[in-house]
Structure 1
Amino acid sequence: MAAEDEKARDEASQPDEAEMEPIYKHRQVATLILWSLGIGAVMTVLVWVGAPAPDSRVVVTVLIILLCCIFLFYALQVEVTTESVTVSFGPGVIRRRFRVDEIVDARVVRNRWYYGWGIRLIPHGWMFNVSGLDAVELDLPNQRKFRIGTDEPQELCAAIQKVLRRTDGSDR
Protein backbone atom coordinates (compact mmCIF):
# COMPACT_ATOMS: atom_id res chain seq x y z
CA MET A 1 0.00 0.00 0.00
CA ALA A 2 2.80 2.43 0.88
CA ALA A 3 4.48 1.72 -2.46
CA GLU A 4 1.25 2.59 -4.31
CA ASP A 5 0.90 5.86 -2.38
CA GLU A 6 4.52 6.75 -3.17
CA LYS A 7 4.00 5.95 -6.85
CA ALA A 8 0.83 8.09 -6.95
CA ARG A 9 2.72 11.00 -5.33
CA ASP A 10 5.57 10.66 -7.85
CA GLU A 11 3.12 10.67 -10.77
CA ALA A 12 1.32 13.72 -9.37
CA SER A 13 4.59 15.65 -9.07
CA GLN A 14 5.66 14.83 -12.64
CA PRO A 15 4.37 17.19 -15.33
CA ASP A 16 2.08 15.66 -17.94
CA GLU A 17 3.64 14.89 -21.31
CA ALA A 18 1.31 17.52 -22.79
CA GLU A 19 2.77 20.14 -20.43
CA MET A 20 6.33 19.33 -21.53
CA GLU A 21 5.53 19.17 -25.25
CA PRO A 22 6.98 22.19 -27.05
CA ILE A 23 4.57 24.98 -27.92
CA TYR A 24 7.32 26.51 -30.04
CA LYS A 25 10.60 25.01 -31.24
CA HIS A 26 12.95 26.60 -33.75
CA ARG A 27 16.57 26.09 -34.77
CA GLN A 28 18.35 28.96 -36.49
CA VAL A 29 21.55 27.94 -38.26
CA ALA A 30 24.51 30.28 -37.76
CA THR A 31 25.37 30.54 -41.46
CA LEU A 32 27.80 33.47 -41.28
CA ILE A 33 29.51 32.12 -38.16
CA LEU A 34 29.92 28.72 -39.86
CA TRP A 35 31.36 30.30 -43.00
CA SER A 36 33.75 32.52 -41.03
CA LEU A 37 35.02 29.74 -38.78
CA GLY A 38 35.16 27.31 -41.71
CA ILE A 39 37.28 29.71 -43.76
CA GLY A 40 39.50 30.23 -40.73
CA ALA A 41 39.93 26.45 -40.37
CA VAL A 42 40.75 26.03 -44.07
CA MET A 43 43.26 28.88 -43.96
CA THR A 44 44.86 27.34 -40.87
CA VAL A 45 45.28 24.02 -42.69
CA LEU A 46 46.70 25.82 -45.76
CA VAL A 47 49.24 27.64 -43.59
CA TRP A 48 50.15 24.35 -41.96
CA VAL A 49 50.63 22.58 -45.29
CA GLY A 50 52.12 25.45 -47.29
CA ALA A 51 54.40 27.26 -44.87
CA PRO A 52 58.00 26.19 -44.49
CA ALA A 53 58.17 24.18 -41.24
CA PRO A 54 55.38 25.89 -39.26
CA ASP A 55 55.11 25.08 -35.58
CA SER A 56 52.64 22.17 -35.64
CA ARG A 57 51.50 22.65 -32.04
CA VAL A 58 50.30 26.20 -32.66
CA VAL A 59 48.53 25.28 -35.90
CA VAL A 60 46.86 22.20 -34.38
CA THR A 61 45.79 24.21 -31.32
CA VAL A 62 44.22 26.92 -33.50
CA LEU A 63 42.51 24.28 -35.65
CA ILE A 64 41.09 22.49 -32.60
CA ILE A 65 39.77 25.77 -31.18
CA LEU A 66 38.09 26.65 -34.49
CA LEU A 67 36.53 23.19 -34.83
CA CYS A 68 35.26 23.31 -31.23
CA CYS A 69 33.68 26.71 -31.91
CA ILE A 70 32.00 25.35 -35.05
CA PHE A 71 30.66 22.39 -33.04
CA LEU A 72 29.44 24.53 -30.13
CA PHE A 73 27.93 27.45 -32.09
CA TYR A 74 26.58 26.03 -35.37
CA ALA A 75 22.98 26.91 -34.45
CA LEU A 76 20.73 28.46 -31.82
CA GLN A 77 17.70 26.46 -30.73
CA VAL A 78 14.80 27.95 -28.82
CA GLU A 79 12.11 25.82 -27.21
CA VAL A 80 9.05 27.08 -25.35
CA THR A 81 6.96 24.71 -23.21
CA THR A 82 4.32 25.45 -20.61
CA GLU A 83 7.06 25.09 -17.99
CA SER A 84 10.09 26.88 -19.45
CA VAL A 85 11.87 28.76 -22.23
CA THR A 86 15.16 27.11 -23.20
CA VAL A 87 17.82 28.65 -25.42
CA SER A 88 20.78 26.50 -26.48
CA PHE A 89 23.72 26.73 -28.83
CA GLY A 90 24.73 23.82 -31.08
CA PRO A 91 24.28 20.44 -29.40
CA GLY A 92 23.00 22.03 -26.17
CA VAL A 93 26.20 22.13 -24.13
CA ILE A 94 25.78 25.89 -23.74
CA ARG A 95 22.21 26.68 -22.77
CA ARG A 96 20.02 28.82 -20.60
CA ARG A 97 16.65 27.78 -19.22
CA PHE A 98 14.08 30.15 -17.74
CA ARG A 99 11.10 28.83 -15.81
CA VAL A 100 7.92 30.48 -17.03
CA ASP A 101 7.11 31.69 -13.51
CA GLU A 102 10.35 33.74 -13.48
CA ILE A 103 9.57 35.56 -16.74
CA VAL A 104 7.79 38.86 -16.12
CA ASP A 105 7.21 39.82 -19.77
CA ALA A 106 8.51 39.37 -23.32
CA ARG A 107 8.65 41.73 -26.28
CA VAL A 108 10.14 41.94 -29.77
CA VAL A 109 13.22 44.19 -29.96
CA ARG A 110 15.87 45.08 -32.52
CA ASN A 111 19.53 44.77 -31.54
CA ARG A 112 22.10 47.36 -32.47
CA TRP A 113 24.54 46.11 -35.08
CA TYR A 114 27.51 46.39 -32.74
CA TYR A 115 25.98 43.99 -30.18
CA GLY A 116 27.34 41.24 -32.44
CA TRP A 117 26.66 37.51 -32.32
CA GLY A 118 27.35 34.77 -29.84
CA ILE A 119 27.03 35.11 -26.08
CA ARG A 120 27.16 38.80 -25.25
CA LEU A 121 26.84 41.03 -22.24
CA ILE A 122 25.01 44.05 -23.62
CA PRO A 123 23.78 47.21 -21.84
CA HIS A 124 20.38 45.59 -21.16
CA GLY A 125 21.70 42.24 -19.86
CA TRP A 126 22.78 39.04 -21.60
CA MET A 127 22.10 38.03 -25.19
CA PHE A 128 22.35 34.76 -27.17
CA ASN A 129 22.38 35.40 -30.93
CA VAL A 130 23.70 33.67 -34.06
CA SER A 131 22.50 35.93 -36.86
CA GLY A 132 20.61 39.10 -37.65
CA LEU A 133 19.38 41.94 -35.49
CA ASP A 134 15.91 40.74 -34.43
CA ALA A 135 15.40 39.42 -30.91
CA VAL A 136 12.91 38.80 -28.15
CA GLU A 137 13.73 40.40 -24.82
CA LEU A 138 12.67 38.64 -21.64
CA ASP A 139 12.03 40.78 -18.58
CA LEU A 140 13.15 38.91 -15.49
CA PRO A 141 12.88 39.73 -11.78
CA ASN A 142 15.10 42.46 -10.30
CA GLN A 143 15.19 44.49 -13.55
CA ARG A 144 17.27 41.81 -15.31
CA LYS A 145 16.83 41.19 -19.04
CA PHE A 146 17.82 38.46 -21.47
CA ARG A 147 17.70 38.72 -25.27
CA ILE A 148 17.17 35.79 -27.59
CA GLY A 149 18.28 36.49 -31.16
CA THR A 150 15.89 34.94 -33.68
CA ASP A 151 14.77 35.08 -37.29
CA GLU A 152 11.18 34.52 -36.07
CA PRO A 153 10.70 37.25 -33.43
CA GLN A 154 6.91 37.56 -33.75
CA GLU A 155 6.31 33.79 -33.49
CA LEU A 156 8.67 33.36 -30.53
CA CYS A 157 7.20 36.31 -28.64
CA ALA A 158 3.64 35.06 -29.28
CA ALA A 159 4.54 31.61 -27.92
CA ILE A 160 6.10 33.09 -24.77
CA GLN A 161 3.13 35.42 -24.26
CA LYS A 162 0.80 32.44 -24.64
CA VAL A 163 2.47 30.48 -21.82
CA LEU A 164 2.68 33.61 -19.65
CA ARG A 165 -1.09 34.14 -20.00
CA ARG A 166 -1.69 30.48 -19.25
CA THR A 167 0.45 30.70 -16.11
CA ASP A 168 -1.12 33.74 -14.50
CA GLY A 169 -4.59 33.42 -16.03
CA SER A 170 -4.67 36.97 -17.37
CA ASP A 171 -4.21 38.62 -20.73
CA ARG A 172 -0.95 40.49 -21.13
Structure 2
Amino acid sequence: MSKDFYTQFILPYAGIIIKICRAYTDSEEDFQDYYQEVCLQLWKSRENFKGDSKWSTWVYRISLNVSLSLLKKDKKVNKKSVELPNLDAGAPQDPNPFNDESLKLLYLAIKELSELDRAIILLYLEENSYQEIAEIMGLSPNNIGVKITRIKKKLKTLLDGKIY
Protein backbone atom coordinates (compact mmCIF):
# COMPACT_ATOMS: atom_id res chain seq x y z
CA MET A 1 0.00 0.00 0.00
CA SER A 2 1.47 3.34 -0.96
CA LYS A 3 1.82 6.15 1.55
CA ASP A 4 -0.10 8.43 -0.83
CA PHE A 5 -3.07 6.06 -0.90
CA TYR A 6 -3.07 5.79 2.88
CA THR A 7 -2.80 9.56 3.32
CA GLN A 8 -5.42 10.43 0.71
CA PHE A 9 -7.98 7.62 0.96
CA ILE A 10 -7.70 6.11 4.43
CA LEU A 11 -6.57 8.73 6.95
CA PRO A 12 -9.40 11.19 6.16
CA TYR A 13 -11.89 8.35 6.76
CA ALA A 14 -10.11 6.75 9.74
CA GLY A 15 -12.94 7.86 12.06
CA ILE A 16 -15.42 5.75 10.10
CA ILE A 17 -13.14 2.72 10.14
CA ILE A 18 -12.35 3.11 13.84
CA LYS A 19 -15.99 3.39 14.90
CA ILE A 20 -17.04 0.35 12.93
CA CYS A 21 -14.08 -1.74 14.06
CA ARG A 22 -14.64 -0.71 17.71
CA ALA A 23 -18.28 -1.75 17.52
CA TYR A 24 -17.36 -5.27 16.42
CA THR A 25 -14.35 -5.95 18.65
CA ASP A 26 -13.80 -6.44 22.37
CA SER A 27 -10.03 -6.19 22.63
CA GLU A 28 -7.30 -3.91 21.38
CA GLU A 29 -5.66 -6.81 19.56
CA ASP A 30 -8.86 -7.62 17.65
CA PHE A 31 -9.40 -3.93 16.93
CA GLN A 32 -5.92 -3.63 15.43
CA ASP A 33 -6.50 -6.75 13.30
CA TYR A 34 -9.85 -5.46 12.03
CA TYR A 35 -8.45 -1.98 11.31
CA GLN A 36 -5.51 -3.37 9.36
CA GLU A 37 -7.71 -5.76 7.41
CA VAL A 38 -10.10 -2.94 6.48
CA CYS A 39 -7.18 -0.82 5.24
CA LEU A 40 -5.82 -3.74 3.24
CA GLN A 41 -9.20 -4.49 1.67
CA LEU A 42 -9.72 -0.81 0.79
CA TRP A 43 -6.40 -0.85 -1.00
CA LYS A 44 -7.13 -4.16 -2.76
CA SER A 45 -10.60 -3.04 -3.85
CA ARG A 46 -9.63 0.48 -4.96
CA GLU A 47 -9.87 -0.52 -8.62
CA ASN A 48 -13.45 -1.72 -8.09
CA PHE A 49 -14.59 1.71 -6.88
CA LYS A 50 -16.52 3.14 -9.82
CA GLY A 51 -17.43 6.50 -8.30
CA ASP A 52 -21.18 5.81 -8.40
CA SER A 53 -21.27 6.77 -4.73
CA LYS A 54 -19.07 8.79 -2.41
CA TRP A 55 -15.74 7.32 -1.27
CA SER A 56 -17.04 7.46 2.32
CA THR A 57 -19.88 5.13 1.31
CA TRP A 58 -17.30 2.72 -0.10
CA VAL A 59 -15.30 2.95 3.15
CA TYR A 60 -18.45 2.15 5.17
CA ARG A 61 -19.28 -0.83 2.97
CA ILE A 62 -15.77 -2.28 3.07
CA SER A 63 -15.44 -1.64 6.82
CA LEU A 64 -18.77 -3.31 7.57
CA ASN A 65 -18.14 -6.26 5.26
CA VAL A 66 -14.67 -6.89 6.67
CA SER A 67 -15.85 -6.52 10.27
CA LEU A 68 -18.80 -8.86 9.76
CA SER A 69 -16.63 -11.42 7.96
CA LEU A 70 -13.99 -11.36 10.68
CA LEU A 71 -16.67 -11.52 13.37
CA LYS A 72 -18.13 -14.67 11.80
CA LYS A 73 -14.66 -16.15 11.53
CA ASP A 74 -13.97 -15.29 15.18
CA LYS A 75 -17.23 -16.91 16.26
CA LYS A 76 -16.19 -20.13 14.53
CA VAL A 77 -12.95 -20.11 16.50
CA ASN A 78 -15.03 -19.24 19.58
CA LYS A 79 -12.60 -16.50 20.49
CA LYS A 80 -14.12 -14.06 22.97
CA SER A 81 -12.38 -11.48 25.13
CA VAL A 82 -14.04 -9.27 27.70
CA GLU A 83 -11.34 -6.62 27.90
CA LEU A 84 -12.24 -3.16 26.61
CA PRO A 85 -10.04 -1.67 23.91
CA ASN A 86 -6.91 0.21 24.92
CA LEU A 87 -7.08 3.38 22.89
CA ASP A 88 -3.47 4.40 23.41
CA ALA A 89 -1.91 2.24 20.70
CA GLY A 90 -1.68 1.97 16.96
CA ALA A 91 -4.31 3.26 14.59
CA PRO A 92 -5.38 6.89 14.29
CA GLN A 93 -8.13 7.67 16.75
CA ASP A 94 -10.99 10.00 17.40
CA PRO A 95 -10.14 12.53 20.08
CA ASN A 96 -11.06 10.96 23.43
CA PRO A 97 -13.62 8.49 22.05
CA PHE A 98 -14.09 6.69 25.35
CA ASN A 99 -13.35 9.40 27.93
CA ASP A 100 -17.03 9.96 28.54
CA GLU A 101 -18.64 7.26 30.68
CA SER A 102 -21.94 7.66 28.82
CA LEU A 103 -20.18 7.00 25.52
CA LYS A 104 -18.60 3.85 26.96
CA LEU A 105 -22.03 2.63 28.04
CA LEU A 106 -23.49 3.44 24.64
CA TYR A 107 -20.81 1.40 22.86
CA LEU A 108 -21.37 -1.50 25.25
CA ALA A 109 -25.11 -1.33 24.54
CA ILE A 110 -24.47 -1.17 20.78
CA LYS A 111 -22.40 -4.34 21.09
CA GLU A 112 -25.53 -6.06 22.46
CA LEU A 113 -27.36 -5.43 19.18
CA SER A 114 -27.44 -7.82 16.24
CA GLU A 115 -24.75 -7.36 13.61
CA LEU A 116 -27.15 -5.68 11.18
CA ASP A 117 -28.62 -3.36 13.81
CA ARG A 118 -25.12 -2.44 14.98
CA ALA A 119 -24.15 -1.42 11.46
CA ILE A 120 -27.31 0.62 10.96
CA ILE A 121 -27.04 2.53 14.25
CA LEU A 122 -23.38 3.31 13.64
CA LEU A 123 -24.24 4.80 10.28
CA TYR A 124 -27.10 6.74 11.89
CA LEU A 125 -24.83 8.07 14.63
CA GLU A 126 -22.47 9.29 11.90
CA GLU A 127 -25.42 11.42 10.75
CA ASN A 128 -25.90 9.64 7.45
CA SER A 129 -29.32 10.11 5.87
CA TYR A 130 -31.74 7.20 5.64
CA GLN A 131 -31.06 7.19 1.90
CA GLU A 132 -27.28 6.90 2.44
CA ILE A 133 -27.73 4.16 5.04
CA ALA A 134 -30.10 2.31 2.71
CA GLU A 135 -27.55 2.53 -0.10
CA ILE A 136 -24.75 1.18 2.09
CA MET A 137 -26.86 -1.59 3.63
CA GLY A 138 -28.79 -2.56 0.51
CA LEU A 139 -32.19 -1.88 2.11
CA SER A 140 -34.97 0.63 1.39
CA PRO A 141 -34.99 4.00 3.19
CA ASN A 142 -38.39 3.14 4.73
CA ASN A 143 -36.99 -0.13 6.10
CA ILE A 144 -34.05 1.81 7.56
CA GLY A 145 -36.44 4.24 9.26
CA VAL A 146 -38.38 1.41 10.88
CA LYS A 147 -35.19 -0.35 11.96
CA ILE A 148 -33.72 2.83 13.47
CA THR A 149 -36.88 3.42 15.51
CA ARG A 150 -36.71 -0.15 16.86
CA ILE A 151 -32.97 0.09 17.54
CA LYS A 152 -33.43 3.34 19.48
CA LYS A 153 -36.10 1.68 21.64
CA LYS A 154 -33.85 -1.29 22.30
CA LEU A 155 -30.90 0.95 23.19
CA LYS A 156 -33.14 3.00 25.49
CA THR A 157 -34.16 -0.20 27.25
CA LEU A 158 -30.55 -1.37 27.54
CA LEU A 159 -29.37 2.00 28.84
CA ASP A 160 -32.37 2.89 31.01
CA GLY A 161 -31.07 4.44 34.21
CA LYS A 162 -27.40 4.07 33.26
CA ILE A 163 -26.86 7.30 31.31
CA TYR A 164 -27.68 10.65 32.85
Q: TM-score, normalization: structure 2?
A: 0.27
Decide which structure has greater strand share.
1
TM-score, normalised relative to structure 1: 0.26
**Bigger Rg over Cα:** 1
